[in-house]
Amino acid sequence: MKNIAIIGSGSWGVALAMHLASIGNNVKIWSFDESEANLINNEKKCKFLPNITIPNNIVCSLSYEEVITGADLILHVTPSKFTRNIVKEYKQYVDVQKQPIIVCSKGLELSTLSILTDVVKEEIPNAKIGALSGPSHAEEVSIGVPTVLVSASEDEDVRNYVQDIFMSKNMRVYTSDDLTGVEFGSALKNIIAFCAGIAVELKLGDNTFAALLTRGLTEIARLGEKVGAKKETFYGLTGLGDLIVTCNSEHSRNRKAGRLIGRGLSLDEVKKEVGMVIESVDNIEAAYKLKEKYNVEMPIVEEVYNVLYNGENPEEAVYKLMQRDKKPEI
C-alpha cells in the first residue's frame, strides 16, 4: 500500500485515483475548485465521470501541503498550459529525495515548446522525474477496463517504481527510457485526433481516415527524431497505440473538437461546446512552431494550422494535401 498524491481533479486525475485506490492505495487529490472537492468528498462523485462512485480511500483537498506531505509518489495531472505555474505553487512541499514526480498530462508548453517533464525539471531541478502515458481513456480506466501504459524515465529506478505501483489484473505497464519520445508521441497524437474529427464530420470515409493516421504518425515520428527521440517509440503504445484510441473514440475531446470545426463552428464556439481544455489546439500551434524551428516537413500539421489560425476551409486543406508533389512513401 502506498500513499499517492495526485495534482489535478479532472477526469484523468480521478481515473488514475480510481485505479490506484482499487488496488489498495490511499489517494489524495489536489483540486483548485472547491465545488469539485466537495463533490468528491461528500457525494463520492466526479462531474467528468458520472458513472463512478468514489471509494473512501480517495479524498480531495484544496491544500497542496495536505496532499503532498507523506506521499510516496506525486502524479502531475493538469493541463499543459497550467503546468509551470502549478509546479511553482507546490514545489516547496516536495521532498525531492523521496517523492518522484510523474507527469501524466499529455501536451507541450506552448511558450517554450518544451515537454512537460522538462518544465518540472526547470522548476524543481533535483526532482526524480518520469511520465506515464499510453492509449487510455479516463472513462474506461475509471471502471477497470484492461489498459496498457508506459512508464518512462531516464532513471531506471523511477520507471520501475511506477511500474510496480500501477501493475494489476486490469493494468499492464511497460517501461521506457525514451522520455522525449513518449511525451512527444502523447502530445502530438492529439493533433491527428483533431484532424480525424474533421475527417469524420466531412464524411471522407475509411480510406481517408487510414491515410490520415498513417501519414500523421510519419509526421510525428519525423519531428520526434529531430528533437532527440527514438523512432521506434512512435510505433509503440505512446505513439501508434495512443493515436489509434484517440482518433477512433467518441471519448476523445480532441476528436470532438475537430468534428465541431468540420461542422463550421469557430474556435471560440468549439471551446465553449467541449467545456474542457482541448490540448490539441495548443499542440497544433506548438507543433507548427517546432516544424519551422527544425525545418521538418509536416504537411498535415501545416494545413490544420491554416484551418485554425488562417481561416482556411477544411475541404481546401484536404485538396491541398492530395495535390502535393509526387514522391516515394519511404
C-alpha cell at 282: 495548443
Return the bridge partners of 284, or none.
none
Is 189 a known active-site residue?
yes
The H or E element spanning position 103 is strand 101-103
* Cα angle, residue 153 at apex, residues 224 and 216 outer, rounded to 5°: 25
- DSSP secondary structure letter of residue 237: I
Cα 287–Cα 240–Cα 261 angle in degrees, nearest 5: 50
Q: Cell triple for residue 16? A: 488514475
Helix/strand/coil for 162: helix
What b-and-e string marks burial along 258-295, b requiring 16 or more CB atoms within 10 Å of the CB? bbbbbeeeeeeebbeeeeebbbbbbbbbbbbebbeeee
Single out the catalytic residue among 28, 189, 256, 291: 189
Q: Vertex 20, ends 84 and 183: CA angle to 5°?
A: 40
Rounded-to-integer distance, Cα 235 and Cα 19, Å = 26
Coil, helix or strand for 125? coil
Catalytic residues: 189
